[in-house]
Chains A and B, each alone.
Chain A
Amino acid sequence: MEAMLHITTLHYLVLGAALFLLGVIGVLTRRNVVIVLMSIELILNAVNLNLVAFSRYWQGMPGHLGGPGALHGQVFAIFVITDAAAEAAVGLGILIAFFRNKETVNVDEVNLLKW
Chain B
Amino acid sequence: MGTLGFSATDYLLVLPITLLTLFALGILLIDLWIPPEEKWVNAVMALCGVAFSAAAIWNPFRPGILVYLEAHGFSGRPAMLNAMVVDRFAIYFWYLFLAATAIAILMSVRYLETEHENHGEYYALMLLSVAGMMCMAAGLDIVLIFIGLELMAISTYVLVGFLRRDRRSNEAALKYLLLGAFSSGIFAYGLSLFYGLTGSTNLAVIARELANNVLKSEYRPVAIVALLTTITGLLFKIAAIPFHQWAPDAYEGAPTSITGFMSVAVKAAGWAMLLRILILGLLPMRPIWVPLLVFVSIATMTGANFAALTQTNTKRLLAYSSIAHVGYMLLGLIAGTATQLSPDGIKGILIYLLVYTFMNLGAFAVITSLRHRNVIGDELDDLNGLYSRAPVEAVLMLVFMLSLAGIPPLAGFWGKYFIFLSLVSSGHYALASLGVFYSVFGLYYYLKIANAMFMGKVEKDGEKLPIGLTMRAAIALTGIATLYIGLLPNSFIELVNWALGIAQNPNVARLTH
Q: Interface on A for B, CB 8 Å cutoff?
A: 13, 16, 20, 23-24, 27, 33, 36-37, 40, 43-44, 46-47, 50-51, 53-54, 57-58, 61, 64-66, 69-70, 72-73, 75-76, 79-80, 83, 86-87, 90-91, 93-95, 97-98, 101-102, 107, 110, 112-115
Contacts and interface: CB of A to CB of B under 8 A. Distances in A.
Interface in B300-325: 307, 310-311, 316
B263 to A, nearest CB: 16
B188 to A, nearest CB: 4
B253 interface: yes
Given A40-B182, A87-B181, A113-B253, A72 B200 contact: yes
Contacts of B189: 20, 43, 46-47, 50
B201 A72 contact: yes
21 contacts: A36-B178, A40-B185, A43-B188, A44-B188, A54-B196, A72-B195, A72-B201, A73-B192, A73-B195, A75-B143, A76-B146, A80-B188, A91-B178, A94-B158, A94-B161, A94-B174, A95-B174, A97-B173, A98-B174, A110-B174, A115-B307
A65 B200 contact: yes
B161 A101 contact: no
The dominant DSSP class at the A interface is helix
Contacts of A75: 143
Nearest to A28: B182
3 closest A-B pairs by CB: A43-B185, A54-B196, A65-B199
B157 A90 contact: yes
B147 interface: yes
B248 A102 contact: no
Contacts of A90: 154, 157-158, 177
Nearest to B167: A101
A83 B177 contact: no
Contact of A94 (B165, B177, B307): B177
Nearest to A73: B195
B154 A87 contact: yes
Contacts of B195: 51, 54, 72-73, 76
B216 interface: no
B171 interface: yes
A113 B252 contact: yes
B168 interface: yes
Contact of B193 (A50, A83, A115): A50
Given A43-B189, A73-B195, A73-B196, 6 more contacts: A40-B182, A87-B150, A90-B157, A94-B173, A98-B174, A110-B174
A59 B216 CA distance: 23
B199 A94 contact: no
